[in-house]
Structure 1
Amino acid sequence: MASNTCAAGSGGSDLRRQAVWATYDAMKTSEILCIGSVLWDVIGRAPNAMRLGADVPGRITRLPGGVALNIAMTLRRFGLVPALLSAVGVDAEGEELVARCDQMGLITQHIYRSDDLPTDVYMAIEGANGLIAAIADAHSLEAAGDKVLRALSDGRLGSIDAPYSGIIALDGNLTESLLSQIAISPLFAAADLRVAPASPGKAERLLPLLTHPRATLYVNLEEAVILTKEPYPDAASAAAGLIARGAARVLVTDGGNSCAEGMACAGVITATPPQVLVTRVTGAGDTFMAAHIVATRKAVSRQEALNRAITAAADYVSGDIGT
């Protein structure tokens, strides 16, 4: 392999060259793409319950994040090698973020790097009573538009004549216009699409993909209500409602309450998460989605896949899985 021909010199350029080729070799066996937000998560966490306007002591962290990257990091923990398609600036924040992704073994060479767009950032406040507030600044990803998809059309990952046929995880930080294009694009016609809205505020962006025959939607109860404009008492009824509106497969979570998976012509199943002490919230849904993807790749039963996903999410929010 080409990576074995790199000189093992002591210089940084030699080490960097080896890392690039190692990533290239890994790319050729990757079967999962993560398309969407790759950014910095700035999270303030307090150990006590908080109310609007609270000013309390706590901890502030900055970590690699974004829906697509959170999913990719979880997939990597399960031993898979995802490729990222996103937009990241060439500013200092972007250089550091891409370097961190490289260190984790993620494939980054298909990320669109822009000279005039800053690296995106997500900011959240969490208390013992859950997420208090959050702002997602994903304007650079939105501005990049379909530039983030170039590798799917120019032959690097696929083309019109030979579209990508593996699993693609999409997140709702992409614009509704771009998601609408994806819903009808021949570049995605052979893919197994796994779709998440990113937040309730962006749930309606998924409407073009709701009835896509190859799409699986991962939403929480609030997002299911937004998508269907119907109230639901629980995840099971929400899953049934989404299937009735033409979805092929959906997974609906509801915090610590029972979650559900629904499939057209196969009904709805449910599972109840284990009770754990919640130490963090941001990224839990992405962990659930990634764990379910891994389980379905192993061809386990629907119930087992759902059980594995809720267990992974519970481990994450309890702090048993590191960031």
Structure 2
Amino acid sequence: MNTPSANILCFGAAHFDRTLQCTGRFVPAASNPVRTLHRKPGGVARNIAVHLRLLGNNIAMLSAVGDDGDGEHVIAALSEIGIDTRRMMKLEGKHTAGYTAVLDETGELALGMMDAEVYDLLTIDRLAPQLTNLKAWPWWMVDANLPVETISWLADNKGNTKLCAATVSPSKAVRFRPVLDELDLLITNQAEASILTGIEIKEIAQAKTAIQLLRGKGIPDVVITLGATGVVSSSSQSGTAFWSPLATRLRDVNGAGDAFYSGFLSAFSKPHAQMDDAVANGLAMASLTAETNGTTVWNLSQTTVAERAAQAEKKPLD
């Protein structure tokens, strides 16, 4: 029997990522010759939405782009894979956000530049007229690129919709602090969880303490990812547990965190979902993405994900 699709509305970043590499020694405050390694759509909410769609869910995207070619391309690429883009805002006189990474001659990051000003225009005034339509979606995945006032407004007006937070970065994670007690799901990494809790997180025991604090603030389901160390999850349903990463033929870790979120939410948003199944699904997606060049596994199959998820092992921490 086929598992029913979930209906999830994703709010947040959808832009282009560009990676350039110096062809000679990187010299600060100078003109450096470079070659373009890649230019592709990116953004946390966009990355999560794409994998959710490839996993068979009904997905819509709400974001802002400029009235430029990049904005048209971002919207078209989402639409082509069946993501509902009717809530994408194309803002006149603005330019589409973008992240540019400049690598030095060895491949290490020399300079990273993020232009995200257009997301500041995802204001309450722009979203309020759509509230009835937005609340028709039973799941909201909101990334921290939205203004803090908009995040708080969404939390206050979610009604029966499940609000799932993606913290994006340590500098932006603070935007969820005012609404922790209104979140239904929080998936965050150790650096972002430290910002939200004030607890240094370098080992599993510290992650457990942080996750208990976050659940004590009213969040029923919390996951803290620890990079190559693994994942700590907690819910009233399944307790607190540690999960090791799955065996992976490592190729490119970019996008693995967003892929974990997609795999987790795809499973967790289904009827009668179990936390353990969702974590296993998230680990499978992170593993498959790390074995792929780029941030997206375009040839996904439910069978491949299920087979990888079956390898997940849980170690209770209660």
Give the SS at the match of 1:211. Answer: helix
Q: Percent identity?
A: 27
What are the superposed Cα offsets for residues 75-109 of structure 1, whole Å, 9 maximum, x if unpaired? 11101231111111111211122122221221111
| Aligned partner of 1:135 among 83, 103, 113 | 113
Letter in 2 for 1:152: Q
Tell me the residue number matched to 1:92.
69
Q: How does 1:50-61 map to 2 (within 5 A)?
A: 60-61=37-38
Matched, 1:195 2:171: no
Q: Following TM superposition, by how much is the alpha carbon of 1:247 offset from its aligned partner in structure 2, in angstroms?
A: 2.4
Distance in 2, Cα, partners of 1:114 & 1:275: 44
Superimposed CA distance per residue, residues 262-288 of structure 1 (whole angstroms, 9 cap, x where no aligned partner): 125753122111243443333222111
Which of 165, 176, 179 is residue 206 of structure 1 equivalent to?
176
| Greater relative CO (CA pairs within 8 A, separation 6+) | 2
Match of 2:91 in 1: 114
Indicate the larger mover: 110-119 or 270-279: 270-279
- Superposed displacement of residue 37, structure 1: 0.9
- Residue from 256, 261, 265 that aligns with 1:289: 261
Q: Which runs of 5+ in 1 are unaligned?
A: 1-28
Q: Does 1:79 align with 2:56?
A: yes
Residues 44, 248 of structure 1: CA spacing in aligned structure 2 closer, same or farther, 3 A cutoff? farther
1:231 aligns with 2:203: no
Q: Is 1:318 equivalent to 2:296 in the alignment?
A: no
1:219 paired to 2:188: yes
* Alpha-carbon distance change, 317 to 294 in structure 1, aligned in 2, over 3 angstroms: same
CA 1:130–1:176 in structure 2 vs 1: closer, same or farther (change >3 Å)?
farther
Q: 1:94 to 1:84 in 2, by over 3 A?
A: same
Offset at 1:44? 4.6
Q: Which moved more, 1:197-206 or 1:292-301?
A: 292-301
Please say which of residues 296-305 and 191-200 is displaced more in the overlay.
Answer: 296-305
CA contact (8 A) 2:65 2:118 kept: yes
Mapped contact 1:33–1:85 kept (Cα < 8 A): yes
* TM-score, normalization by structure 1: 0.77
The answer as to whether partners of 2:20 and 2:34 remain within 8 angstroms in 1 is no
Give the distance between the partners of 2:159 and 2:237, measured in 1 at CA.
Answer: 22
Residue 204 of structure 1, CA deviation: 0.7
Classify 1:86/1:147 alpha carbon distance in 2 versus 1 (closer, same or farther; 3 Å): farther
Bigger shift: residues 295-304 or 89-98: 295-304
Paired with 1:129 and 1:258, the residues of 2 have a C-alpha distance of: 26
1:215-294 matches, cutoff 5 A = 215-232=184-201, 233-234=203-204, 235-264=207-236, 267-294=239-266
Query: Partner of 2:232: helix, strand, or coil?
Result: strand
Check whether the contact 2:100–2:113 (CA below 8 A) recurs between aligned residues. Answer: yes
CA distance in 2, matches of 1:282, 1:124: 13
Residues 146, 221 of structure 1: alpha-carbon distance in 2 compared, 3 angstrom cutoff: same
Give the alignment partner of residue 100 of structure 2, picking from 95, 103, 123: 123
The SS at the match of 2:210 is helix
Deviation of 1:257 after TM superposition, in Å, equals: 0.8
The answer to whether the aligner puts 1:31 opposite 2:7 as a matched pair is: yes
Query: Between Structure 1 and Structure 2, how many residues are aligned?
Result: 282
- Residues 208/106 of structure 1: CA separation in 2 closer, same or farther (3 Å cut): same
Which residue type is aligned with residue 252 of structure 1?
I
Deviation at 1:199, TM superposition (A): 1.1
Asked if residue 42 in structure 1 is aligned to residue 18 in structure 2, the reply is yes
Query: Would you say the 8 A contact 1:112–1:147 is kept in 2?
Result: no
- Give the match for residue 66 of structure 1: 43
Contact 2:9 2:137 in 1 (8 A): no
- Given that residues 238 and 276 in structure 2 are in contact (C-alpha distance below 8 angstroms), is that contact kept between their aligned partners in structure 1? no
- Over 3 Å counting, the alpha-carbon distance change for 1:89 and 1:56 in structure 2 is closer
1:184 Cα deviation (Å)? 1.6
Q: In the alignment, which residue of structure 1 is the partner of 2:142? A: 170
TM-superposed CA distance for 1:218, in Å, is 0.9
Written as runs of structure 1 = structure 2, the 5 A alignment for 1:171-186 is 171-185=143-157
Q: Is the 8 A contact 1:130 1:281 kept in 2?
A: no
How far off is 1:111 after superposition?
1.0
Which letter maps to 2:168? A
Q: Is the 8 A contact 1:91 1:118 kept in 2?
A: yes
Specify whether residues 265 and 313 from structure 1 end up closer, same or farther in structure 2 by C-alpha distance, changes over 3 A only: closer
Relative to structure 1, the CA distance from residue 252 to residue 180 in structure 2 (aligned partners, 3 Å threshold; closer, same or farther) is same
